[in-house]
Amino acid sequence: MNYKEIYLAGPLFSEAEKNFNEQLTEKIESAGYDVFLPQRDSTDTKSMRKEQDAAELFRRNSEAIDRADLVIAILDGGSDVDSGTAWEIGYAYAKNIPVMGMRTDFRTLGIEGTVNLMIEKTLIKLVYSTDKLLTELENMKR
């Protein structure tokens, strides 16, 4: 399957997370994809009142998932997936939008495995590096 529009889901609260998301987005875009990066593409709400910001961000992000051909979910952040990322995965799954997971964090959930079972079974593929992600995207073009 050829995916063109990608929604990048992942934690975006620390400087390290935001930098990683931006670098990954640049690599995916360089490979010929359009990427919706929430921290970049849904934050121009300066003209709205504070109480409207959350509703507007929710609308923009959920509509971007609706338009996506594929969601790439960054599953790093410790032994459990970021709660916002988990919601984005579930929303995409409910809309029949495929989700590919990427986990570069080597910590596990112990006997449960690498990620929560409900997250893992939602994914079309789980990769463990940026290079592997880009290879998978390239293979999907064929």
Contact indicator for 102, 135 with CB cutoff of 8 Å: no
- C-alpha 84/C-alpha 89 separation (Å) is 9
* Pairing status of strand 70-74 against strand 99-102: parallel
The whole-model pTM stands at 0.89
- Any idea where the domains of the chain sit in the sequence? 3-139
Q: Which pLDDT score is estimated for 34? A: 97
Residue 120, H or E segment: helix 117-120
Q: Rounded distance, CA 82 to CA 137, Å?
A: 23
The contacts of residue 100 (CB under 8 Å, 6+ apart) are 70, 71, 72, 73, 123, 124, 125, 126, 127, 133, 136
pLDDT in the model for residue 115? 78
CATH number of 3-139: 3.40.50.450
pLDDT given at position 76: 87
Q: Give, for all 142 residues of the chain, the pLDDT tens digit.
A: 677 999 999 998 889 999 999 999 999 999 999 999 999 998 754 544 455 588 888 999 999 999 999 999 999 876 678 999 999 999 999 999 999 999 987 765 555 567 788 888 999 999 999 999 999 999 987 7
pLDDT of the residue at 50: 59
